[in-house]
Amino acid sequence: MAELHWRIDEVPWDRLDHAKVDPALVPLIKAAALVEYNANDYTAYLCNVFHDDPEFKALAAEWAVEEVQHGRALGLWAERVDPSFSFDAAVQRFRDGYSVPIDLNQSVRGSRTGELIARCMVETGTSSYYTAIGDSTDEPVLKLICRHIAADELRHYKLFYSYAKRYLERENIGRLKRLQVALSRITETEDDELAYAYYAANAPADAVYDHKTYNAAYARGAYSRYQRRHVDRAVAMVFKACGLKPHTLLYRAAASLLWRVIDGRARRLQAA
């Protein structure tokens, strides 16, 4: 049984301040709740890939318990600020239309090291995202939940990074390959998962899913929450996972480029 670092029943729900809820944040939280709650599928996939590593499989199962709690906590917050929202119904709608391929026995990244680097990218993104969301809201309960989740995701990053180093000793994958894996996983944030989660959580019952529409709706809300410091921290984590030194000239150039991309896209989407 996983030892949780915080529990939903410990959240001070009575402190929820409806006057401080940002309506533009609510659709993002609903979508995030679905993605987090779907962690058991990823665990099944990871356990297939690492089928002969019982220690890692046990840790992956504990990781999933925390991720599922993230989804449930975000879903409960969304239900409290929008009584018309049903988290369970949204979860079912999401699962009816989107699924993770779990019947694979080898990593889609080409190696176990690559798989662990990809997981580091996911934890980098989520830790940075929930930090940005928490910093952008004045609603105290959501701020606390985001702080808890961001801390969990940072610990998850450290967990996957420690195993990536262990497998790197066996597979000896160079920095360039690790960077390719990292970049490929980062670009997958534009795939169907987040867009479909946004649709399942927010679209009317008779709405037809269109990737471009709901991906833009999600990105319009999410990108505007980032500040430069969130991007700098994320790039440092990416560099570390790929075996590159952070806080170098290359790091500063990469962080500046990523910030321009995110800030520029946020401005374009808001203008549109």
* pLDDT tens by residue, 246-266: 889 999 999 999 999 999 999
Residue 57 Cα to chain centre, angstroms = 20
Neighbours of 12 (CB within 10 A): 9
Q: What is the per-residue pLDDT for 190? A: 65
Q: What is the per-residue pLDDT for 1? A: 44
**Structural tokens at position 254:** 């990469």
pLDDT class of 208 with cuts at 50, 70, 90: very high
* Residue 185 contacts residue 126 (beta carbons within 8 Å): no
User: How far apart are the C-alpha atoms of 227 and 94, rounded to whole Å?
Assistant: 30
Q: What is the per-residue pLDDT for 186? A: 81
User: How far apart are the C-alpha atoms of 224 and 235, rounded to whole Å?
Assistant: 18
**Structural tokens at position 59:** 């840790």
Would you say residue 271 has pLDDT above 90? no
Would you say residue 55 has pLDDT above 50? yes
At 111-160, the pLDDT tens digits run 999 999 999 999 999 999 999 999 999 999 999 999 999 999 999 999 99
**Structural tokens at position 96:** 């009816």
At 158-198, the pLDDT tens digits run 999 999 999 999 998 888 899 999 988 888 766 789 999 99
Q: What percent of the chain has pLDDT over 90?
A: 82
pTM for this prediction: 0.93
Q: What is the per-residue pLDDT for 2? A: 56
Task: Tell me the residue length of the chain.
Answer: 272
User: How far apart are the C-alpha atoms of 96 and 119, rounded to whole Å?
Assistant: 25
Rounded to 10 deg, the angle between the 175-187 and 112-136 helix axes is 50
Would you say residue 104 has pLDDT above 80? no
- In Å, what is the CA distance from 172 to each residue of 111, 118, 159, 163, 206? 10, 16, 19, 13, 51
